[in-house]
């Protein structure tokens, strides 16, 4: 994943939280640190799939608790 794609990823995370993209770290948790609720998280994942033209496996969603988890998963899918 390119630096631009990583920036786009962080900007997308920031859209759903009160944290600025530059302040988001890989160990931040969606619910506890960024204030995501279930609906926000699922909408975020849908937007992530659209922006990066990927499909996140429904079983894998349960393993995505941090920003780093989601980025790693997206990177693997983008590289396919």
Give the model's pLDDT for residue 50.
96
At 80 the pLDDT is 73
For residue 26, what pLDDT is reported? 97
Domain boundaries, the chain: 3-79
Positions in the chain short of pLDDT 70: none
Domain spanning 3-79 has what CATH number? 1.10.1200.10
By the 8 A CB rule, do 19 and 28 touch?
A: yes
Query: Which own/partner contact pairs does 17-20 have at CB distance under 8 Å and 24+ positions apart?
Result: none
CA distance 36 to 29: 9
User: Quick one: pLDDT at residue 42?
Assistant: 94
What's the rounded Cα separation, in Å, for the pair 64 and 67? 8
DSSP state of 16: T
The whole-angstrom separation of Cα 9 and Cα 29 is 15
pLDDT for the residue 7: 95
For position 1, what pLDDT does the model report? 83
């Amino acid at each position: 994943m390119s630096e631009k794609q990583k920036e786009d990823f962080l900007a997308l995370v920031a859209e759903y939280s009160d944290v600025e993209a530059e302040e988001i770290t890989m160990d931040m948790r969606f619910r506890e640190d960024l204030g995501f609720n279930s609906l926000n998280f699922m909408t975020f994942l849908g937007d992530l799939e659209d922006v990066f033209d990927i499909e996140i496996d429904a079983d894998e969603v349960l393993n995505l608790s941090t920003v780093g988890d989601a980025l790693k998963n997206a990177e693997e899918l983008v590289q396919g």
